[in-house]
């Protein structure tokens, strides 16, 4: 009985490093899979961010043109109002002078 117990204890002592090695291999495999998944997600996010940046750059000239067009329209409106005010003022002055 002692011989069988001794044999089993030797065997379990030999299995501990193997179990640790198997656990290490499994953990390493999980880590590698996780790292690959992270890389895929990062690549997708970078591609998405680049697409957004490209779209915003392509829209930027249109937005800046729109800004200039809006400023030009406001200047034209202000000039027209000023012209109308001057015409009305000169008409009123002329009507008082002429009687």
- Residues 65-80 have pLDDT tens digits of 788 889 999 999 999 9
Do 8 and 32 belong together in one domain?
A: yes
Do 91 and 51 belong together in one domain?
A: no
Report the C-alpha gap between 73 and 65 in whole angstroms. Answer: 12
Q: How does pLDDT run across 5-62, given as a tens digit for each residue? A: 556 566 677 778 888 889 999 999 999 999 999 999 999 999 999 998 888 777 666 6
Do 89 and 72 belong together in one domain?
A: yes
Do 47 and 69 belong together in one domain?
A: no
**pLDDT tier at 83, thresholds 50, 70, 90:** very high
User: Between residues 2 and 50, which one has the greater pLDDT?
Assistant: 50
What pTM did the predictor assign? 0.44
Do 50 and 73 belong together in one domain?
A: no
Do 3 and 34 belong together in one domain?
A: yes
Which phi-psi region, left, alpha or beta, contains residue 23 (left: φ > 0; alpha: ψ -120 to 50)? Answer: alpha
């Amino acid at each position: 009985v002692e011989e069988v117990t001794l044999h089993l204890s030797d065997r379990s002592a030999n299995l501990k490093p193997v179990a640790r090695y198997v656990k290490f291999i499994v953990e390493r495999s999980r880590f590698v899979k996780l790292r690959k998944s992270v890389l895929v997600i990062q690549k997708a996010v970078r591609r998405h961010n680049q697409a957004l940046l490209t779209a915003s750059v392509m829209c930027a000239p249109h937005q800046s043109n729109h800004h200039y067009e809006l400023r030009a329209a406001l200047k034209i409106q202000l000039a027209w109002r000023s012209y109308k005010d001057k015409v009305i003022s000169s008409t009123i002055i002329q009507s008082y002078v002429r009687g």
